[in-house]
Amino acid sequence: MGRKVFPNLFRINYYPKYKSFYKPPFTFTKFNNYILNIQLNLEILNFFQQREDNYLILDIKIINLTSNIIIIYLIIPDTKIKIESNLNKNLFNTCILLKKNLYKKYNNKINIFFELIFSKNVYKYTNYIWFIITKLLKQQISIRSIFKNLILDFDKLQQNQNNKIIGFKLKVSGRINGSELAKQEIFKFGSLPLQTIIYDINYTNKKLKTKFGILGIKLWLFIF
């Protein structure tokens, strides 16, 4: 028998990870407007998720002030951190494209505003760690060396910041580094309590396309 792992659904009561919020003066005048607003929020999230390879976003928060006014907060890495300039250009172009598509669909009845939030604590988000891993895997660097470099970065950050990374787990499956047969490699650092629902554990499951095939990457991050 394998170990039982609680999914994220059981953690919602303790650590809700909502992407969209409703703040005053927002009011639900009709039930149909409420359904349309939920559909609009899902369209925005799916639009960014389908284009994740073109830019780097740590997190997204959608705030609905009214049924027609929506503010989208995009959390991105701080400019002092060395990130490719093309990623910021692609992010700007995707925001413009999203506005055009929604204006055409809803006949210019929706006002969308974007606001960027720069975060220095980038290792707090699994999207940034996934971005580093995928970038190094495309350069055909071994996973063990990638994992060792991540642990060294974690140790440096813990000395300067309040949030401490207590546990981290990396699982990669597929034709790693062009191997003939598909295999699975798991690396773990620190403690990772998956049996409890009290602690907040960030989890990401994504795919990476390489010239040898598709790699499945899973990340667990425990910050206290």
Return the CATH fold of 8-119. Answer: GMP Synthetase; Chain A, domain 3 (3.30.300)
Output the pLDDT for position 51. Answer: 81
Query: For residue 31, what pLDDT is reported?
Result: 46
| Each residue's pLDDT tens digit, 50-61 | 887 778 888 888
Dump pLDDT digits (tens) for 151-203: 888 777 766 666 678 888 999 898 887 788 888 988 888 888 877 777 778 88
Fold of 122-223: Ribosomal protein S3 C-terminal domain (3.30.1140)
Residue with the larger pLDDT of the pair 80 and 212: 212
Between strands 165-174 and 213-223, the pairing is antiparallel
- The CA distance from 34 to 31, in Å, is 5
Kindly report the CA angle at 110 between 108 and 115, in degrees rounded to 5?
120
- Would you call 159 helix, strand, or coil by DSSP? helix
11 vs 28: CA distance, rounded Å: 28
Q: What is the pLDDT of residue 68?
A: 78
Show me where the domains of the chain are located.
8-119, 122-223
